A = this chain, B = another copy of it.
Amino acid sequence: MRIVVLAGGIGGARFLRGLKAAAPEAEITVVGNTGDDIHLFGLKVCPDLDTVMYTLGGGIHEEQGWGRADETFTVKEELAAYGVGPEWFGLGDRDFATHIVRTQMIGAGYPLSAVTEALCARWQPGVRLLPMSDDRVETHVLIEADGERKAVHFQEYWVRLRASVPAQAVLPVGAEAAKPAPGVLEAIAAADVIVFPPSNPVVSIGTILAVPGIREAIAEAGVPVVGLSPIVGDAPVRGMADKVLAAVGVESTAAAVAAHYGSGLLDGWLVDTVDAGVVGEVEAAGIRCRAIPLMMSDLDATTRMAREALDLAEEVRA
């Protein structure tokens, strides 16, 4: 079975761990969000790709969900001693090595997809990890600060400001000119199932879908497309998805997110048992829906969620 998963960071990465356990024989291709990539200290940092790679490769800081386990922060402290920031972005020494290798390879002319493959040769994530695009796409968030509207990098909005001010718009800068990375459209065309894990529908999956050609390829693949709600009981399971949903005029409910993807794209939708009341509404909109426990509290729970997603896909297919 060939499965394509669109993934952001923590939510996507943890779901993938369950999916690998639920379908150990499947060929899984992950199309990773690169809209939250950022240049820091002259180095190219790809937080979402790295979270997937570290999580599946056994290098992740488990409690935190991002960054490396057993991390130290000597380089960052030294940079601060030079007065060089930003200090709000937590790059550890182990993590720095990843960004140094990536930046060196990109400087030598390799596209991000080739770099990602090279990094994965070490981590052996057990999936094929592709960036959504080799072209630079940077998600910016429009905010109002000191009476002025301005666009800040997504990481600045998310990490420095902790989404504490309303997002007026989310702008995937460069997306309209970006091309899907080599292998992305081919993987989608060859997929048996396409899954949207409980990643952020706007700044993770939404950004991937904003790369021209990807949404169309998914819609035209002719295979079940199933998703899992990142919203449980009107609040994001993790993170601050409600902030960016508001920016695109979508309510923070499991039903509203399903409607945002739309029945033209999405065939099946899993909501949490606390949201069982919306199943009828989602199905009325032409999307098959089931309510199951959606908390990725451990690998077993996550594996059950992945199995339910695959079961729902079979139900859709039949």
Which residues from chain A sit less than 8 Å from chain B, CB to CB?
A: 41-43, 72, 74-76, 78-79, 81-84, 93-94, 96-98, 100-101, 103-104, 107-108, 118-119, 121-122
Contact = CB atoms under 8 A, between A and B. Distances in A.
A76 B101 CA distance: 11
Contact of A72 (B42, B84, B93, B103): B93
A94 B80 CA distance: 11
Contact of A84 (B43, B81, B83, B104): B104
A96 B42 CA distance: 13
Contact of A74 (B41, B72, B78, B98): B72
A78 to B, nearest CB: 3
Contacts of A98: 78, 82
Nearest to A106: B42
Nearest to A83: B122
A97 B122 contact: no
Nearest to A68: B78
A84 to B, nearest CB: 5
Nearest to A42: B104
- Tell me the number of copies of this protein: 2
B41 A81 contact: no
Contacts of A41: 100-101, 104
A87 to B, nearest CB: 13
Contacts of A84: 101, 104
Nearest to A72: B74
A94 to B, nearest CB: 5
B96 A75 contact: yes
A78 B103 contact: no
